[in-house]
Structure 1
Amino acid sequence: MFQLLDETTRERIDCPVQRVLKQGAVFGRSTPATLVSRPGRERIVVTSSAPIHDQADSIIGVVLVFRDITENRKLEAELHKASKLESLGLLAGGIAHDFNNILTGIFGNVSLAKMLAPSDRQIQERLERAEQACYRAKEMTGQLLTFARGGAPIKRLKAVPQLVKESCDIAVLGSNVHCEFSYAPDLRPVEADPAQIAQVLNNLLLNAVQAMPEGGNIKVRAENIPAGTRPGLPSPGADYVRITIQDQGPGILPEHRARVFDPFFTTKHKGRGLGLATAYSIVRKHDGLIEADSKTEGGATFHVYLPASAQSTAPETEDASNLSSGQGRVLVMDDEPEILNFCHVALKRLGYQAELARDGEEAIRRYRDARESGRPFSAVIMDLTIPGGMGGKEAIKHLLELDPRARVIVSSGYSNDPVMAEFRKFGFLGVVAKPYEIRELAKVLQQVIES
């Protein structure tokens, strides 16, 4: 009727009934075993058995109890996966932070070199390629931080066609798949974390490409969804933008549709089952919704709903040569010499006078001395965390006690830190996430000083 196997070695275990009949005593295995039924179904069980006695104390049978712990084992495995995922997340966050610090020095100096180098076509082309490589590295660290992050997204006003086009170009690269775009003429912009939403779109588009190994078309549509016209959205009174991605693959099997967003669920041989789960988490953090639809003949369709921005149009792309110059004194606090060096040169190029500090205590001292000497700082840029010293999160409290009107910008390689997403709650007036280059630095400085 059944057989018992050792859970580890898969060797057959003697039937406990025979052992009880022979010894006449209660018997229980100290370790679980694998129970194989006649149809071949396997369960993990804990066994115990005891003799049945008649009035004459003779053994007339055996009670055999199997306690099924299969689901417990699955839960233990999931908890183990979650623990490993958390450890990997911490490791990814630490690597991304250190890499962002290094990348700021590279990225910043390349942007400076483009300004300072002669207008030789070959030199400028080399620097353009170096800058593009920095952007790709920035996207990669953004993905690492998304994997590690627990904080809110850092939202910026973005045009949906720009977000979708960039992700499509990356997803179809080297494949025989093409994207067909269709946008509503009055499509609203969205306020979103560009790196996070890019990861969502990349996951969906790469899945679509992989579903069509022989090639095909991906239909990408974006349209406005007025408030109240689509039940089930997180904010019923808000307008949304719906991005639809439809492939021509085999679609999603009916039995899989309810689980496609579950962590660790995958139908791919080498998949980790994290892509759609991560996409679901990111969209939810944006007060949005992601859902899957599938027809046997029509392929898989995913809908991503993001809150529409109250602003009517997204800002136009800035001219790379148009820098926001200014004047005044700027204090920069960071523990990385390369970043301090870049900021000193960049600020001078932008028309500011720069003073540098290595930690929060030194920054507070320099700020106090500058006020007392009648040469106050127009703005302060503070690194959020300083290993072994006072970081920006603590220093801002002391600085605002000294000067409640201090204009302070927070910066960090940990762009997933809650302080970066909600910087105003902590007393900062601006934010610049590492890695950054001279244009970003110029823009945020102008905004904060003029505020």
Structure 2
Amino acid sequence: MSSASLSGKRTPIPAADLRNILRWMFLLRVCLSSAIVLIAAFLWRDFFHARSTLVLLLFLLLSYVFTAFGYWRLRAGRFENASFLWLQLLHDLVFTTVVVVYTEGVGSPFSRLYIPQVAVASVIFGISGGALFAGAASTIFVLLGIYQREFASSFSFDAEYFPKLSAPEEPFLLNILLLVALFFLVALIMDFLRARLVTAGERVQALETEIRFITIDTRDILDSIESGVVSIDSAGRLAFINRKALDLLGIRLLTRDPEPVWQEITTRAPSLARLLLDTLDHKPAISRGELELDSPEGRHVPLGITTNLLYDEQGARRGVTAVFRDISHVKRMEELSRQRDRLAAVAELSASLAHEIKNPLASIRTSVELLASGDDVAGSGGGNGGDGLRWSARRSGGGGQGAARREEEEERLFRLIVKESDRLAKLLTDFLHFSRMELREEVPVPLRELLEEVVELQLLPAARNAATIGLEWLGLREPVVDGDFDLLKQLFQNVIANAVQAASEHGADAAVTIRVTRDYGERAEIYGLDPGQYVETRVIDNGPGIKPADLPRIFDPFFTTKPQGNGLGLAIVHRIVNVHGGALFVESKPGSGADFRVYLPLSSRRVRTRTRAKPRSHAPAPGA
């Protein structure tokens, strides 16, 4: 909005600036009128004649009324009309002239009031309005001076109501010309300043409009996204919240005023408010974290959340922004995926288990059928260590030799049935142990004592296989892990036993190295473990290594490369590590041995143990 021009058209002066100019004009007018009233009251006899003073006071009263009318128009927003503005300037011109006439004429100190009025006219109407007002003021001032000099002594009005003016002081003409020149100079200067003011105002207005549009666009964009956005400033006050955040948090307020909305957030989502404040309080920002929110309907809503720190130019934290979204559908998809994976694993496991059970059952069935048939049987072992047999049968004849041979074959069949039954029982026992793996107790377990006990148990098998076992402790004196002692013992016993068997294929230089060190979380983070300190136990052998095709499957149930194995040993080891919150990895290249790495969380607790000193390397006995 802009002000009115001299011709009634619009000028670029913002309405707010014009409003301020009029306010100052009214204020100065009232102050000047009040000051004159006070002078008339306290210095009555020195300055004014009684009747003339009453005329002046009456005019001042009319000025108050006119000012009140102008202020009413200003409050009503009806102040940009050119006629109204010129009427205000004309009033000030007459008002100043009356004050000058009643206070010594052209020699009055109030004659300088024409200057700010010329300035106001130039600001409002430009150089044309300023020059017009300066010309009017100059004309009045010159005529008043001529009257005082030429006619005041010979001609005067009624002294009862009008003041008697004396001749002006010399140099009269020079003073008047200087003041008139000052009027026009002020008009020129104020027009220049007005142009600068208008240009600056246009820039400010354009900048405000741009900022407003940017703000509107940013809010619209943030309100349109499907993620909630909440920001707080450096003082912990709510700075911004978008519509989706209000919906996710169940806030139904009709306002976005920070204080009531923040109170609702702290009530409905205290974990979110605490996370924002903790991040602001020099805590690290989180990426892809999760929170659980209680919805107004009483259900638990999982939220995926990311926090970002906002910094100022000096690098100080000036706020925190949290972006979060409802991940209920993601959780449902993950659960469905886990169910599918479980069903697929169960199906694969069932097929493997059925295959493993089928072989001993076939042997038992064949043996029982032969025993029940009454035929003479003859067999020879073959296949998997006698598990598969080739049989020939004929009808039994008479004689003691046939009976003895039959008894011998029956005894062999009975042994086979018992052997296959034992094998089947062990398979089912291992499978039940694998499927029901759980921590029966969780106590501080001294790892040094446990490993030295396991190594001692493997000394004899290592000696039989001409292998050595080395136990090395790097930077750890008495590491302790929390868990089940028996399960952890089974874990390392299986891994070390496998390493001894693999190293024995290397020949005379077969060796197994057990290396224990501390991991401060660097590798654990790479492996996707929870933050914290871990103890890393590496079991390294110099055997033939693992084939690349077999490496991804070595922890699968029932997968084995051993003729007599059931494929559950490393699967059970993997389950034991998982229930202890650790991880198990293997690295191997054909011909370079295998490196099994067991990561277990390091406990902060300490236990007193009685460990015996054992050599770091155990060699086979001579002649073994």
Q: Same fold judged by TM-score > 0.5?
A: no
Task: Sort the TM-score into its range (normalised by shorter chain).
Answer: 0.3 to 0.5
More strand by share: 1
TM-score by length of 2: 0.28
Q: Which has the larger radius of gyration?
A: 2
